[in-house]
Amino acid sequence: EDKVVQSPLSLVVHEGDTVTLNCSYEVTNFRSLLWYKQEKKAPTFLFMLTSSGIEKKSGRLSSILDKKELFSILNITATQTGDSAVYLCAVGSTSGAGSYQLTFGKGTKLSVIP
Amino acid sequence: NAGVMQNPRHLVRRRGQEARLRCSPMKGHSHVYWYRQLPEEGLKFMVYLQKENIIDESGMPKERFSAEFPKEGPSILRIQQVVRGDSAAYFCASSPQEGYGYTFGSGTRLTVV
């Protein structure tokens, strides 16, 4: 069974800190790894990674994938209270039925305090 | 572009009743996916549909759950004879093509009392 493990499960930091969120996975037929931010509603897309070693960046957020070691990290620099959310890691793979399927981790709950 | 629209946002049902959850995909998206999120758990895949076809239902419980995506109208996730364990947030996502450009709706929070 495909598995995605995120760590830590929760994290409390002060504004201005830098945080690193971890995601490791074991899946067959890997196709992509995605990061989402979930506040009290819809998960919103952050990054999709398919190639090892290529950093994707968006403002203060960045992410990189290591397909050899089967993990990804999400970095957030100069955190702000608006970064408080649950960050979800998902791995896209080809299912037994032959279709694309996302397997999610349980998420990392980030709390940024002023 | 209204995004993925799910309704209702909150649904309360008594044990044994039926729950119907609706999902209208983004304009131009013909692929719909349903996920369930239990408390303290990650999102779990349930079913993947295209118009009038179920492509992959490997995550759907074998009984009481069904899904459809008719030619016209929203995708419907139906849960018959609900039990307390069905209480969860149900999210729908859509994409313009398989495996690319997933957009999630805000979810329906089902509470079974």
Summarised one tens digit per residue, pLDDT across range A65-88 is 999 999 999 999 999 999 999 999
| Least confident residue range of A36-45, B71-80, B86-95 | A36-45
| Rounded distance between C-alpha atoms, residue A1 and residue A10, angstroms | 25
Residue B88 CA: distances (Å) to CA of A51, B37, B42, B69: 34, 6, 11, 21
A95: closest CA of chain B, how far (Å): 9
Contact A64, A49 (CB under 8 A): yes
Highest mean pLDDT among A1-10, A15-24, B100-109: A15-24
| Rounded distance between C-alpha atoms, residue B110 and residue B113, angstroms | 10
| Rounded distance between C-alpha atoms, residue A102 and residue B94, angstroms | 12
Torsion angle in degrees (nearest 10) through CA of A30, B69, B76, B91: 20
Q: What mean pLDDT, rounded, does chain B reach?
A: 93
Tell whether B103 is within 8 A of chain A (Cβ). yes
Res B108 pLDDT > 60: yes
Residue % of chain A over a pLDDT of 90: 82
| Rounded distance between C-alpha atoms, residue A44 and residue A88, angstroms | 10
pLDDT at B1: 53
In Å, the largest CA–CA distance within chain A is 47
Q: What mean pLDDT, rounded, does chain A reach?
A: 94
Interface touch B106/A45, C-beta < 8 Å: no
Contact B110, B22 (CB under 8 A): no
Res B106 pLDDT > 90: yes
Tell whether A32 is within 8 A of chain B (Cβ). yes
A78: closest CA of chain B, how far (Å): 27
pLDDT at B98: 83
Quickly list DSSP for chain B. Answer: ----EEE-SEEEE-TT--EEEEEEPPTT--EEEEEEE-TTS-EEEEEEEETTEEEE-TTS-SSSEEEE--SSS-EEEEE-S--GGG-EEEEEEEESBTTB--EE---EEEEE-
pLDDT at B52: 87
Question: Residues of A with CB below 8 A from B40's CB?
Answer: 106
Residue A91 is classified by DSSP as E
Question: Residues of A with CB below 8 A from B107's CB?
Answer: 41-42
Interface touch A88/B58, C-beta < 8 Å: no
Confidence of residue B41 (pLDDT cuts 50, 70, 90): confident
pLDDT at A114: 94
pLDDT at A6: 97
Tell whether B39 is within 8 A of chain A (Cβ). no
